Amino acid sequence: MKELLYPTKWLSKASAGDRVTCELRMQIISGLIESGAILSENKLAADYNVSRSPIREALKTLASENLIRLERMGAIVLGLSNKEIEEIYDVRLLIETFVFERVVKLDTKELVKELSKILEMMKIAIKYHDADEFSYQDVLFHETIIRSINHSYITMIWNNAKPVMESFILLAMRARFEEKYNDFPRIVDNHQLYIDAIDAKNRDLMILSLHQNFDDVQGKVEDLWRSQLILNKGVVQE
């Protein structure tokens, strides 16, 4: 079986279908499986040492994410364009703007404590050059804010966007750790601004925090592109 891109420690309780889904998603978003490539159920089953049932499960999920188009006995890879990456960030911006408006009506003391703990974990990940752990904590940070308002439909939208978003955040952060490590204090400051905005329930500060986090989308797209170059040179991290 080929070397894996998706962190194996994140899959300890995952089904065979989920494992294949996560890895194929990473392979497609990273560009290692190129747009236009044909995926064969039989070949994938052999590559991942599983039956065809988990492969079908994985392909069905990836088709629902518009990463592939299902064909008889396989699929054609569609990939993920820079425009689509930016559109996912648009969805995040819409979600988090809505959530901030709900958060100001809540008691945020416990949320601020939880976010501060997560930010400390992000700092530790930076210290130890652990891009995967940083990515995990980064996604958890935003998910914690979103889940704090207990809105079932917002949570559903988040859950649908999360797998693809998580994959390119992971790839982008690996590239950033490799080539733009000195940029992380700024990223930490941006997340601290999020916390300060929630703690103060200050809408102006919230708007500033959203802009400082989401205006960085172009940088993340460039990071993803650099990660593809790194992978093509054979620098694959587990």
Q: pLDDT digit string (tens) for 109-151? A: 999 999 999 999 999 999 999 999 999 999 999 999 999 999 9
Residue 238 resides in a domain: no
Q: Which of 16, 46, 77 is the last residue of a domain?
A: 77
Which pLDDT value is given to residue 217? 52
Are 135 and 206 in the same domain?
Answer: yes
Are 68 and 88 in the same domain?
Answer: no
Q: pLDDT digit string (tens) for 147-190? A: 999 999 999 999 999 999 999 889 989 999 998 899 999 999 99
Residue 1 resides in a domain: no
Residue 3 resides in a domain: no
Cross-strand bridge partners of residue 74 = 40, 71
Tokens found for residue 63? 């088709």
Are 72 and 162 in the same domain?
Answer: no
Looking at the structure of the chain, the number of domains it has is 2
Are 189 and 224 in the same domain?
Answer: yes
CA 81/CA 87 separation, integer angstroms: 10
Query: Domain containing 18: what range?
Result: 8-77
Residue 99 resides in a domain: yes
